[in-house]
């Protein structure tokens, strides 16, 4: 049942986040430095530790069960994930390591790593990207240490779960953890981008945090989601042997943050081996880099329409486009969908936009590629191209 393509396999082990001078590594280092500077123990040592070498191949328990994703949750489907077999997949988020690290006794840690999702392709989505997870736990004393009469406040109570809190948390716990979380991440954004950046928080849902929030940043005129976060589900901490603590967790999208920081317009550039890209980051002061785009070459649009077989899903087609077209494909969009009134057959039409990052493509080159995509999709998916 593997859903992994050779293109994806070839990315495993690349570890852009550990490649000196790569922008993904630079942003990781800047975020790490912020946590090292902000959180010190009494001996002035950093309390956060960072893990950036954990294996991206994880079990379904790690990726889903450990973070309370329900057994039949849609996010487990093979259409969205790269499974190796029934029990193992390439992690879809760095949250897959939360439970084990808390279990090992840590109170404050960061995890940077490559993550994999069968996702749509555009300038801010790529099937392989990088996340940085952060977890910070608090004991009762630590959370309430700045309160006038700290002994009057409790971390836990036995109540009902509502839209604003978990059943075991007091309102004071939630509000203080939320405050710490949002203040820390807002300071992080100011550390990265300065005070002029436009941001907005909104409430979202994750199975492993409640309440939960995401943060968006204005980038090139549009809101770009850069992180998910929230108050950790107490059940995870209880299972991990940290039942007397509460905490927050967050997951940062490193490509998105690096795009904003360095002004990189397209997520595919992170995989470029072109020196015109890479050399721009080989500087001794990574706090003073702005990406200078090399000229962008023209786009070529080609459509394809076909009859879909039973059980067809667009992600199957996207994977084929990606493995054949590689980084020459800038975007794939479903532009038309209908069911034939007589035969009940489903028809999809997609526009594939091709663009080479380093030269002008000819329509002849693109036609060959486009034709190959059609042939492979016919053979592998059983679609029937409409002429
Ligand atoms: C998560 O992956 C959660 N695990 C984050 C989290 C951790 C929440 C801990 C609470 C506690 P999400 O799917 O939203 O959430 O991804 C997090 C970030 O990764 C997004 O905000 C975005 O910045 C980035 N991201 C998501 N999909 C892609 C993609 N296809 N390409 C590039 N970046 C992406
Ligand atoms: Mg999200």
pLDDT tens for residues 104-151? 999 999 999 999 999 888 888 999 999 999 999 999 999 999 888 878
How remote is the CA of residue 368 from the centroid of ligand 2, in Å?
36
Over the stretch 183-239, which tens digit does the pLDDT of each residue have?
Answer: 999 999 999 999 999 999 999 999 999 999 999 999 989 999 999 999 999 999 999
**Looking at the predicted structure, is the pLDDT value of residue 6 above 90?**
no
Cα atoms found within 13 Å of the Cα of residue 219, Cβ hemisphere only: 21
Q: Whose CA is nearest to atom 30 of ligand 1?
A: 125
Higher pLDDT, residue 4 or 288: 4
For ligand 1, what atom is nearest to the CA of residue 117? 30
H or E stretch covering 250:
strand 246-253
Please tell me the number of the ligand nearest to residue 259's CA: 1
C-alpha triplet 290, 295, 298: angle, nearest 5° = 135
Pocket of ligand 1 (CB under 6 A): 93, 95, 117, 119, 125-126, 129, 131, 133, 206, 208-209, 212, 214, 225-230, 249-251, 253, 255-256
Q: What is the pTM of this model?
A: 0.85
Main-chain phi, psi angles of 340, to 5 degrees: -65, 125
Classify residue 195 by burial, with Cβ atoms within 10 Å: 0-12, 13-18, 19+: exposed
Please tell me the number of the ligand nearest to residue 248's CA: 1
How remote is the CA of residue 230 from the centroid of ligand 1, in Å?
13
| Residue 122 pLDDT | 87
Q: Are strands 209-219 and 329-339 parallel, antiparallel or unpaired?
A: unpaired
For ligand 1, what atom is nearest to the CA of residue 250? 9
Write out the E strands in 3-99: 49-51, 57-59, 83-85, 88-90
Please tell me the number of the ligand nearest to residue 252's CA: 1
Q: How far is CA 201 from CA 172, 225, 303, in A?
A: 20, 10, 38
**Percent of the chain clearing pLDDT 70 (strictly above):** 99
Over the stretch 228-264, which tens digit does the pLDDT of each residue have?
Answer: 999 999 999 999 999 999 999 999 999 999 999 999 9
In angstroms, the CA 251 to CA 108 distance is 14
User: Is the separation of the CB atoms in 114 and 11 below 8 Å?
Assistant: yes
Q: Whose CA is nearest to atom 21 of ligand 1?
A: 227
Mean predicted lDDT score pLDDT of the chain: 94
Confidence band, pLDDT 50/70/90 cuts, at residue 347: very high
DSSP classification of residue 22: -
Rg (CA), the chain: 23
Pocket test for ligand 1, best of 114, 117, 227 (most atoms within 8 A of CB): 227
How is residue 45 written in tokens? 């040592």
């Amino acid at each position: 049942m593997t859903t992994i393509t050779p293109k994806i396999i070839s990315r495993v082990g690349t570890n852009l986040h550990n490649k000196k001078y790569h922008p993904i590594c630079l942003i990781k280092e800047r975020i790490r430095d912020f946590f090292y500077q902000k959180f010190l123990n009494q001996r002035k040592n950093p309390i956060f530790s960072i893990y950036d070498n954990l294996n991206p191949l994880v079990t379904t328990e790690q990726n889903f069960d450990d973070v309370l994703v329900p057994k039949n949750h849609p996010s487990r489907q093979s259409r969205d994930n790269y499974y190796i077999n029934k029990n193992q997949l390439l992690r879809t988020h760095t949250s897959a390591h939360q439970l084990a690290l808390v279990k090992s006794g840590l109170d404050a840690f960061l995890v940077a790593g490559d993550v994999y999702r069968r996702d749509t392709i555009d300038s801010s989505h790529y099937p392989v990207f990088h996340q940085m997870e952060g977890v910070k736990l608090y004991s009762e004393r630590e959370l309430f240490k700045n309160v006038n009469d700290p002994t009057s406040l409790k971390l836990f109570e036995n109540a009902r779960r509502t839209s604003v809190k978990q059943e075991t948390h007091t309102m004071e716990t939630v509000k203080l953890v939320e405050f710490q979380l949002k203040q820390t991440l807002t300071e992080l954004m100011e550390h990265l981008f300065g005070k002029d950046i436009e941001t907005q928080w909104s409430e979202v849902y994750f199975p492993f945090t409640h309440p939960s929030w995401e943060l968006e940043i204005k980038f090139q005129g549009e809101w770009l989601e850069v992180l998910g976060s929230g108050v950790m589900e107490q059940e995870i901490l209880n299972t991990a042997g940290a039942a007397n603590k509460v905490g927050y967790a967050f997951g940062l999208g490193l490509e998105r943050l690096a795009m904003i920081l360095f002004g990189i317009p397209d997520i595919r550039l992170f995989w470029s081996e072109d020196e015109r890209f890479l050399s721009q980051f080989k500087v001794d002061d990574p706090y003073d880099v702005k990406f200078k785009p090399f000229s962008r070459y023209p786009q070529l649009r080609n459509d394809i329409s076909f009859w879909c077989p039973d059980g067809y899903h667009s992600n199957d087609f996207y994977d084929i486009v990606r493995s054949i077209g590689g980084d020459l494909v800038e975007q794939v969009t479903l532009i038309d969908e209908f069911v034939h009134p007589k035969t009940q057959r489903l028809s999809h039409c997609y526009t594939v936009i091709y663009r080479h990052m380093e030269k002008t493509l000819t329509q002849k080159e693109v036609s060959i590629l486009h034709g190959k995509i059609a042939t492979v999709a016919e053979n592998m998916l059983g679609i029937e191209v409409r002429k």
